[in-house]
Amino acid sequence: MTKVTEPWPLFVTYFYYYYSYFSLCLTWIISPFLFYTIFTQSKTLGNFKWFILNHSFWCLAFETVFGIFKPMLLPPIAAGYQLGPFRHLWNWKSSIIAIFLCLGITGSCVISVSATLASRYLLIFPGSLFKWFNLKIAVGIGVLLNLACYGLIIYALYPLMELEKSTIIKWVSESDPGLSIIYSNEPTFVLVPKDYHLKADIIVLAALFIIHLIGAFILLFFFYQLRKQKRSAILTNKVQRSLIISSLFQMLIVSGFLLIPLTIFFTFIFF
């Protein structure tokens, strides 16, 4: 029997609840100005503005979905409920839909941010290695990766939509008796048994590991190219060096606030 972590302390729940609303409102206030700037003030950026627009849209969708559903997770098992405005109006199947949207949009957010970083930094180094990278290729790769991401999530979650409420109650009682209290008080509470998400966990953890390896490889490649181009103009090297430092911090931010939390969560529910 897996011992689930007790529900979070009350101050943590309240902080998460109100901070997510604050963050959501702030995001929606700033977003119109951001999109207006992208459409009207970015003619000199060329195709790069479409990468910025794409990842800005998915980041807005990410903040919106998490701000509305407010998933409250109960590690180390794949269980949780919603803290959002529809907390006592929806049922457990709405949480399956929420999981699909949260994970899917998170995947789209990672893919779009990665495409923006690639388009900005890979193309600053001339060479045949990156001549194939353009807007059409990036869109094609992005569509394929998104289809794979959403397909994997549907594969893991769709069987749960066919279940009856009695099955969820049975899983709750078998996992931890303490969960029954949460289940009776939270209509949106849902539990996904390990058998249903085990294969998906392996694929997701492998993908996250590969993403971190690719990020490390790109940074090493940047520094290698910089050393290789010592005979280039000093100004060019300075620009490249500043872009590499910027890219390092951007990758660390994406990794620290998005990739690492995802890796920790899936590691918890897998082991």
Question: Nearest CA to 78 among 222, 176, 166, 151?
Answer: 176
Domain at 10-270, CATH from 1.20.1070, 1.10.3470, 1.10.1220, 1.10.260: 1.20.1070
Q: What's the distance, CA 75 to chain centroid?
A: 18
Within 8 A by CB and 6+ apart from 203, the residues are 152
What rounded mean pLDDT belongs to the chain?
Answer: 76
Give the burial class of 49: count Cβ atoms within 10 A of its Cβ; 0-12 exposed, 13-18 middle, 19 or more buried: middle
CA distance 109 to 56: 9
Cis ω before 76 (30° cut-off from 0): yes
CB 205 within 8 A of CB 95: no
3-state secondary structure of 270: helix
CA distance 1 to 131: 55
Domain boundaries, the chain: 10-270
Is the dihedral angle over the CA atoms 143, 54, 100, 178 positive or is it negative?
A: positive
Give the burial class of 255: count Cβ atoms within 10 A of its Cβ; 0-12 exposed, 13-18 middle, 19 or more buried: middle
One-letter amino acid of 57 = F
Q: What are phi and psi of 47, to 5 degrees?
A: -70, -20
Question: Per-residue pLDDT tens for 6-51?
Answer: 456 677 778 888 888 888 899 899 888 888 888 887 777 677 788 8
> What pLDDT sits at residue 159?
82
Residue 95 — pLDDT band, cuts 50, 70, 90?
Answer: confident
Question: Per-residue pLDDT tens for 144-158?
Answer: 888 988 888 888 788
CB 199 within 8 A of CB 220: no
